[in-house]
Amino acid sequence: MDLSFSENQLLYVDTVRRLVKNEISPRILEMEKEHGFPWAIITKAWEMGLVNLCIPESIKGFDVDVFSSALIIQELSYGDTGIATSAMCNDLANVVISRHGTDRQKERFLRPFVEKPLLASFCLTEPGAGSDNFMMTSFIAPRDDGSWVLNGSKCFITNASYASQFTVLCKIGKPSASFMACVVVPAESVIAADLPDVGYSTREIQLSTGGRILIGKPEDKLGQRLSNTASVTFEDVILAPDQIIGNRRFGFKYIMDVLDFARPMVAAIGLGLAKRALDVTMAYTRERKQFGQRICDLPVARDTLVAMWKKVELAELSLWKACWKIQKNDKDAGIFASLAKNTCAEAALFCANEGLHLHGGYGFTADYEISKLARDAHIIDIYEGVREVQNMIIGREIV
């Protein structure tokens, strides 16, 4: 496994770091307090080619490999994990089209994202179906004219308030069915000029083909406040047969494909946060003095800093091994994707919490970035599969 980066990868890193340094870091606490949607930054990231990483060369004109994708997301997350989550969600929604769609479907459903800075949503989780996907009740039913009708509700959907397209996992025929399908529901294209900020408003989308989509009020979250999250309800949405991706009975397989792709990317988000937490804590403990010396020179504090550094380095190694396995299409790539997700989430939580502790009382105030990082870190341990689910996957495979 070669851990050296190519010239292109180093160029990606430099590009994202400039975006973070110039557009995110100087205003991050102010932006979070405003709680507005960061359209300007996402649009700029799109202009730089840092969004829609999974779209194939046949549509986009160039490919971004797994390592480069993880690098981009890690560096963007160093600035803010909420922004990175919203940007990455396009790939979460579109990777199943990229991998399993026909050439015609790729052209229809992916081309718009290359032409405009649009957002997509991946609609999997439901109020009664979190880790257990078989409990979902959203479903498509056939109609006499050969079309299908979609009904159901999803929750905790990233980008929902601003999405121009929805990738939806659902049952076939009835809510209690065993088989699942993956369908794509395009809506009217929305960019920053069309819908700059919904605030805490709901949104209703009337589809020209029939039916409507109801977007709930954005969630008021503990962390990642620069990422939009809302519920989505599909009411009598009419679908043409070509809006079903791949084999309509292979939806569960497609879920696994998406999550195996997403977990290293979520791991990269965790790693970016862990690195940021370590850096801001190092800077603070070098500056702040107690008992006549810098905090970083106190043995008890230095032990914590060493533990933080070790968590970051081990997490990074687990991420690169997962990317290497995925790029080689190894059969056990899923295990290492789960390992990376857990290891990087653990590093994010540990570094944010211990970093806050080393900031003392100041860390508990909103004036210091470490308090924001501590709030942001918790969702990384939860979304795209909680740690217990990752352990179930690893345990099932190793025994």
First CA to last CA across the chain, in angstroms? 26
Q: What is the pLDDT of residue 186?
A: 98
* CATH architecture type of domain 120-249: Beta Barrel (2.40)
Which burial class, exposed, middle or buried, applies to 113 when counting CB atoms under 10 A from its CB (0-12, 13-18, 19+)?
A: buried
CA 398 to chain centre: 27
Instruction: Just give the CATH number of 252-398.
Output: 1.20.140.10
Domain spans in the chain, listed from the N-terminal domain onward: 7-115, 120-249, 252-398
With beta carbons less than 8 A apart as the criterion, state whether 168 and 245 touch: no
Q: What is the pLDDT of residue 261?
A: 84
pLDDT digits (tens, 9 = 90+) for 298-308: 999 999 999 99
Instruction: Just give the CATH number of 7-115.
Output: 1.10.540.10
Q: What is the pLDDT of residue 157?
A: 98
- At residue 57, the 3 state secondary structure works out as helix
Question: Which runs of consecutive H residues, i.e. helices, occur in the chain?
Answer: 7-19, 28-34, 39-47, 57-60, 66-79, 81-100, 103-115, 251-287, 299-327, 333-359, 369-380, 387-398
pLDDT digits (tens, 9 = 90+) for 347-393: 999 999 999 999 999 999 999 999 999 999 999 999 988 999 999 99
Q: What is the pLDDT of residue 374?
A: 98
Nearest to 352, CA basis, from 251, 274, 261, 268? 274
Q: What is the pLDDT of residue 260?
A: 82
23 catalytically annotated: no
Q: What φ, ψ does residue 328 adopt, rounded to 5°?
A: -85, -5
Contacts (Cβ under 8 Å, ≥6 apart) of 224: 81, 82, 85, 376, 379
pLDDT in tens, the chain (399 residues): 777 889 999 999 999 999 999 999 999 999 999 989 999 999 999 999 999 999 999 999 898 999 999 999 999 999 999 999 999 999 999 999 999 999 999 999 999 999 999 999 999 999 999 888 899 999 999 999 999 999 999 999 999 999 999 999 999 999 999 999 999 999 999 999 999 999 999 999 999 999 999 999 999 999 999 999 999 999 999 999 999 999 999 988 888 888 888 899 999 999 999 999 999 999 999 999 999 999 999 999 999 999 999 999 999 999 999 999 998 989 999 999 999 999 999 999 999 999 999 999 999 999 999 999 999 999 999 998 899 999 999 999 998
From the list 75, 126, 354, 384, the catalytic residue is 384
Question: Which runs of consecutive H residues, i.e. helices, occur in 23-100?
Answer: 28-34, 39-47, 57-60, 66-79, 81-100
Q: What is the pLDDT of residue 221?
A: 96
